[in-house]
Amino acid sequence: MTDRLTLIRPDDWHLHLRDGDVLAHTVPATARQMGRAIIMPNLKPPVMDAAQALAYRDRILAQRPAGSHFEPLMVLYLTDNTTPAIIAEAKASGKVVAVKLYPAGATTNSDSGVTDLGKLDDVCAALAENDMPLLVHGEVTHNHVDIFDREKAFLDDILAPLVARHPTLKVVVEHITTKDAAEFVQSQGPNVGATITVQHLAYNRNHMLVGGIRPHLFCLPILKRNIHQQALQDAVVSGNNKFFLGTDSAPHAKGAKENACGCAGCYTAYAAIELYAEIFEDLGVLDKLEAFASFNGADFYGLPRNTDTITLVKEQWVAPTELPFAGDVIVPLRAGESLRWKYLG
């Protein structure tokens, strides 16, 4: 039985750090485990150009613990007003590595998102030219499309045509939740990859809704039925290098989650690698964790793999029931539950 696990240091290819005082909590939490992280730009207002990305990066670095080499990889938020010149300037900054598409209204702070991707073909061409991946929150937002069908509708109506129009554009389908998305990614060339979260591997909608509603399992795209959870598990079990670690750790204060209109997002950064290790072990593929967590994402982005290592031990510990969040608290995923793997450093 394996009771100790040493891996090349992982990276988090989808992370929300937020801004302001809470950076004092969110930055150290991720910097403790991850070498790099793709920093989601859905602030209020969003991160829309190189200057805003560099200023945000400085605020993040100001909270990086002494001695840490954690590197925030910055992302621009695509709007109807993004231009090829904005993309070229972002690339030239050397610090912005990707651009994020939020269909307007799809998720937390996405009001400034894109209303018609068809109008941004010149921007997509600029991304392809600059070898910058387009990261997508893959859900349509039309009222008539059921929330459980929104990812598939996005793949069929928006993403498949986009990839066909821009065959060299790198695309990351973020936080995939369906069998359809896993199959779509597998069916495309090496320029299309996907991140998979802990919560979408570990849970399905029954966990969220049977026996009472569990607001801390509510995230977007919403947890789907068990056949979809199974397909995501199959994707990581397959070892296909198109799939990589992206926690989508998305903290919201406890009161904003335990609310008559609760916010979407699960907080997992405090124990990201332990949470993935537990699932990979349950699936019998602990030997595939390192490629998923530490190789596939870097390879997809064309960045060097990390060279230092981390170690986990098989040792039970209890996840905190709450964590500080700048005068407020957050309830992490698995709060108060026993975790099986412990990160040593």
Ligand X SMILES: NC(=O)N[C@@H](CC(=O)O)C(=O)O
For 289, phi then psi, to 5°, come to -65, -40
Helix (H, G, I), strand (E, B) or coil at 185: helix
Residue 39 parent element (H or E): strand 36-39
Distance CA 145, CA 167 (A): 28
309/33 Cα distance (integer angstroms): 10
Contact 257, 216 (CB under 8 A): yes
Site mask, Zn ion, residues 255-294, x = CB under 5 A? ----------------------------------------
Q: Phi and psi at residue 13, in whole multiples of 5°? A: -90, 15
Least CB distance to Zn ion at residue 172 (A):
11
Residue closer to ligand X (CB basis): 16 or 57: 16
Select the binding partner of residue 38 from Zn ion, ligand X, none (C-beta < 5 to 8 A, by kind): none
From candidates 33, 63, 107, 141, binder to Zn ion by CB under 5 A:
107
Q: Is 116 annotated as a binding residue?
A: no
Count of residues of this chain found to bind Zn ion when the rule CB under 5 A is applied: 3
Are the C-beta atoms of residues 13 and 78 closer than 8 Å to each other?
no
Q: 25: annotated binding-site residue? A: no
Q: Is 57 in the site for Zn ion (CB under 5 A)?
A: no
CB of residue 141 vs ligand X: minimum separation in angstroms? 12
Positive or negative, the CA dihedral 203, 205, 211, 214 is positive
Is residue 120 part of an annotated ligand binding site? no
Q: Which residues contact 264 (CB under 8 A, 6 or more apart)?
A: 107, 108, 218, 219, 220, 222, 250
Among ligand X, Zn ion, none, residue 219 binds (CB under 5-8 Å by kind): ligand X
Q: Is 252 annotated as a binding residue?
A: yes
Beta carbon of residue 42, minimum distance to ligand X (angstroms, whole number) = 5
Minimum distance of ligand X from residue 217's CB (angstroms):
10
Helices (H), 130-225: 150-154, 160-165, 179-187, 198-202, 205-209
**Tokens (6 digits) for 5:** 């696990």
Verify binding: residue 248, Zn ion, rule CB under 5 A.
Answer: yes
Query: Can you give the binding site for ligand X, defined by CB under 6 A?
Result: 16, 42, 107-108, 137, 219-220, 248, 250, 264-265
Instruction: Tell me if residue 266 falls in helix, strand or coil.
Output: strand
Which token pair is 196? 């998979």
19 annotated as a binding-site residue: no
Q: What tokens does 152 get?
A: 């598939």
Instruction: Please give the single-letter amino acid code of residue 279.
Output: I
Interface segment toward Zn ion; rule CB under 5 A; list 29-37, 43-51, 101-109, 157-165: 101-109
Is 200 annotated as contributing to ligand binding?
no
Query: Which range in 191-199, 244-252, 254-262, 293-301 contacts Zn ion by CB under 5 A?
Result: 244-252
What is the spatial distance between Cα 47 and Cα 62, in angstroms, rounded to a whole number?
18
Q: Which is nearer to Zn ion, 152 or 288 (CB)?
A: 152
303 binds, among ligand X, Zn ion, none (CB under 5 to 8 A by kind): none
Q: Which stretch binds Zn ion (CB under 5 A): 133-141, 142-150, 222-230, 331-339?
A: 133-141
Q: Answer positive or negative: Cα dihedral of 134, 143, 80, 124.
A: positive
Known binding residue 248? Answer is yes
Q: Which residues are catalytic?
A: 248
Task: Cite the annotated binding site for substrate by residue number.
Answer: 16-18, 42, 137, 220, 252, 264
Task: Cite the annotated binding site by residue number.
Answer: 14, 16-18, 42, 100, 137, 175, 220, 248, 252, 264
Task: Cite the annotated binding site for Zn(2+) by residue number.
Answer: 14, 16, 100, 137, 175, 248
Interface residue list for Zn ion (CB under 5 A): 107, 137, 248
